[in-house]
Amino acid sequence: MPRRIILHAGFHKTGTSSIQAVLRENRVALKKHVALRLRWHMKDLVAATRGYSTWRDPLTLIKVQDRFTRLMDELPGMPRRTLVISAEELAGHLPGRDELSDYSAAPVLLYAFWEIARARFPEADILIYLSTRAPGPWLESAWAEHVKASNMTLEFEDFAARYQGAADLEGMVGEVASRVPVPVHHRALEACTTLPLGPADPLLDLCDLPPSLRAALTPVPPANTRLNADVLRAMLEANRTHEGADARNAAKAEILKEAQAR
């Protein structure tokens, strides 16, 4: 069984893609000490967590529990290794999608994960790690992500006013800590800019790696960075112009292609 289980459940736009990129790049070097389950390993589970954050119904929560239980049951032997489960969608959808106003589903989801992991591996040390970000930059990045990846039509100022409450990520850390009976670690993205592996370093601190291995890990460039203002403005106009998803996505793909060709 794993020696330790680390649940890294977001939040979105706090360097999570960069963390997962570092883990994936170094998966062979880490293998003797760390087992990884990243977002692409659990597509069915994150589909259910996104659904629960939207609907908050008991049946979807049961679906989440069933799929996390299956994830636990399908794990291979990993004696004395640390199991890292990392996906920002474990906290639900990014607020702002389908009128979702905040991360209030996260404590419910994380409690469910803890309860299942504890039952399956009663002797494992279970931790939660949450990456955070200052409210202003988080709102800017969340808005940009919605403009790029959804049908967002709000101006940034309107988005920020509507979803200001969701930007209190430190407050949500406290809410999780008050409701899930395990240590909850967190670090702001702004505090990771000078670290060798960026936002992945605080998570790796929890894995107790040998110093020689830690020093040899390979950094990677930041992942899923924000598009520039002109591209975002063009995509926002595409969202406002095209009602159908296919036409809208095709227009935004062309905008991105032209930007990359410059």
Residue-wise pLDDT tens digits, 79-127: 889 999 999 999 999 999 878 999 999 999 999 999 999 999 999 999 9
pLDDT at position 161, please?
Answer: 97
- How much is the average pLDDT of 231-258? 95
User: What percent of the residues of the chain are helix, what percent strand, and what percent coil, each to the nearest 5?
Assistant: 60, 10, 30
Q: How large a percentage of the chain has pLDDT more than 70?
A: 100
- Closest to 86 measured CA to CA, from 176, 168, 22, 178: 22
Q: Do residues 6 and 84 lie in contact, with contact meaning Cβ atoms separated by under 8 Å? A: yes
pTM for the full predicted model: 0.96
Q: Do residues 166 and 96 lie in contact, with contact meaning Cβ atoms separated by under 8 Å? A: yes
pLDDT at position 171, please?
Answer: 98
pLDDT at position 214, please?
Answer: 97
Second CATH level (architecture) for the domain 4-224? 3-Layer(aba) Sandwich (3.40)
- Give me the helix-helix angle, 135-149 and 229-241, nearest 10°: 50
- Closest to 242 measured CA to CA, from 154, 112, 179, 152: 152
For the record, the structure tokens of 23 come out as 């883990």
Domain layout of the chain by residue ranges = 4-224, 227-262
Instruction: Give residue-wise pLDDT tens across range 33-64.
Output: 999 999 999 999 999 999 999 999 999 999 99
Q: Round to whole Å and give the CA distance between 113 and 176.
A: 12
Answer yes or no: is pLDDT of 77 > 90: no
